[in-house]
């Protein structure tokens, strides 16, 4: 598999990015080529630090970096030689099958949208994030790509999330829920109420109805649909809450001798829970709906997170979700046309 990695994207680039690449190459034989886009001198320095001379690496030198103060559109228009733009171009040119970036999310989304274009039937791409719960993992979509979504976009998110849940998580006839402030049909704002009405009218989707905050941790559907604003707030709140809870538990367990002994005995259990809730273990999130594979990682991603983001890129390539998204949306539109043209 051939992957382009934005080596200058992220709060700790290129150090963590290159380190993560080295870890991935040591573990993942399926990566045949890894393009590192960014400052050649700094990338080579980091590779030397880790004693890496892997022949699968190709450095693509760039002269610009997208800062967090840049807007997504300006970053693409004014910084055409940025590390993220060049990485996306490698996918567009067919030299790479996926791009991974921990940099400016808006820039990665905008560059991917402009250069790769959307799949037939998809107006806006959406970020899919795999989330943990007491019972199973589930897909949150959209986790931040399209904050100003319309009901039609949320319907498309439902098809994309369902395809991902079925063909990546292995869920047959995945159940879909719409994020709202109550499970009753009349709950939500105008957009969620209109979206719910549209989803209830689509028989090929297994729509459960509205879900709210406590549902997603105790009894989640396979896919939870929302706009990118709500999804991103929800994602970051969940991540911050998990970190805060583990910090509080650790502080209490280390407060006395007896609790320290108990902590030592329970350490394997705590480690398993930590791995299920730690964002670094998931690494990155696929941006669905594009003619290509884009993996979005966190700005503060560690080397472990970047390694796992590259693993996510490999898995997304191998599962080939895009044809399933195209087919499901095509069938939906065909059924709509047939229904519209049917005699009264």
CA 343, distance to chain mean position in Å, is 44
Assign residue 272 the CATH number of its domain.
Answer: 3.40.718.10
**Is 3 in the same domain as 108?**
yes
What's the DSSP call for residue 204? Answer: T
Is the pLDDT assigned to residue 251 strictly greater than 60? Answer: yes
Is the pLDDT assigned to residue 279 strictly greater than 80? Answer: no
Confidence (pTM): 0.88
Structural domain range at position 67? 1-122+289-321
**Is 258 in the same domain as 312?**
no
**Is 89 in the same domain as 3?**
yes
Is the pLDDT assigned to residue 44 strictly greater than 90? Answer: yes
- Tell the residue number behind the tokens 């560059």, with chain if given: 111
Average pLDDT over residues 94-120: 93
- Cβ(182)–Cβ(212) below 8 Å: yes
Average pLDDT over residues 226-233: 95
Q: What is the mean pLDDT of the chain?
A: 91
pLDDT of residue 239: 86
Average pLDDT over residues 62-75: 84
Is the pLDDT assigned to residue 339 strictly greater than 60? Answer: no
Residue 28 CA: distances (Å) to CA of 18, 32, 168, 307, 309: 15, 9, 19, 9, 12
pLDDT of residue 233: 94
**Is 2 in the same domain as 57?**
yes
Tell me the pairing of strands 57-61 and 293-297.
unpaired
**Per-residue buried b or exposed e for 208-218, using 16+ beta carbons within 10 Å of the residue's own CB:** bbbbeeebbee
**Is 164 in the same domain as 215?**
yes
**Is 34 in the same domain as 150?**
no
Overall domain count for the chain: 2
Give the sheet arrangement for strand 284-288, strand by strand: 57-61, 33-38, 2-6, 98-101, 293-297, 284-288, 126-131, 138-141, 223-225, 175-179, 206-211
pLDDT of residue 119: 93
Distance, in Å, from the CA atom of 97 to the CA atom of 289, rounded to the nearest integer, reads 15
pLDDT of residue 298: 86
């Amino acid at each position: 598999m051939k992957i382009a990695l934005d080596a200058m994207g992220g709060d700790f680039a290129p150090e963590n990015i290159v380190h993560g690449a080295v870890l991935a190459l040591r573990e993942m034989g399926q990566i045949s080529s890894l393009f590192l886009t960014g400052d050649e001198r700094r990338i080579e320095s980091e590779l030397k630090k880790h004693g890496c001379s892997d022949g699968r690496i190709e450095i693509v030198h760039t002269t610009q970096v997208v800062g967090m103060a840049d807007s997504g559109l300006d970053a693409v228009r004014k910084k055409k030689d940025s590390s993220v733009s060049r990485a996306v171009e490698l996918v567009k040119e067919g030299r790479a099958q996926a791009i991974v970036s921990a940099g400016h999310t808006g820039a990665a989304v905008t560059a991917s949208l402009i250069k790769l274009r959307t799949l037939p039937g998809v107006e806006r791409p959406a970020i899919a994030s795999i989330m943990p719960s007491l019972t199973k993992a589930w897909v949150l979509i959209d986790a931040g790509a399209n904050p100003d979504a319309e009901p039609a976009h949320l319907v498309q998110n439902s098809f994309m999330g369902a395809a991902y849940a079925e063909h990546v998580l292995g869920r047959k006839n995945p159940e879909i829920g719409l994020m709202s402030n109550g499970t009753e049909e009349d709950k939500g704002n105008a957009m969620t109420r209109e979206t719910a009405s549209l989803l209830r009218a689509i028989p090929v989707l297994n729509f459960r109805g509205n879900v709210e905050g406590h549902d997603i941790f105790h009894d989640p559907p396979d896919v939870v649909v929302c706009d990118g604003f709500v999804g991103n707030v929800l994602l970051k709140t969940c991540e911050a809450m998990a970190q805060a809870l583990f910090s509080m538990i650790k502080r209490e367990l280390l407060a006395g001798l007896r609790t320290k002994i108990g902590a030592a005995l329970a350490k394997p259990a705590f480690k398993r829970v930590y791995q299920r809730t730690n964002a670094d273990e998931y690494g990155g999130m696929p941006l669905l709906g594009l003619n290509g594979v884009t993996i979005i990682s966190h700005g503060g991603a560690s080397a472990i997170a970047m390694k796992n983001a590259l693993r996510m890129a490999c898995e997304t390539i191998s599962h080939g979700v895009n044809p399933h998204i195209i087919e499901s949306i095509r069938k939906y539109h065909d059924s709509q046309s047939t229904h519209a043209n049917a005699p009264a």
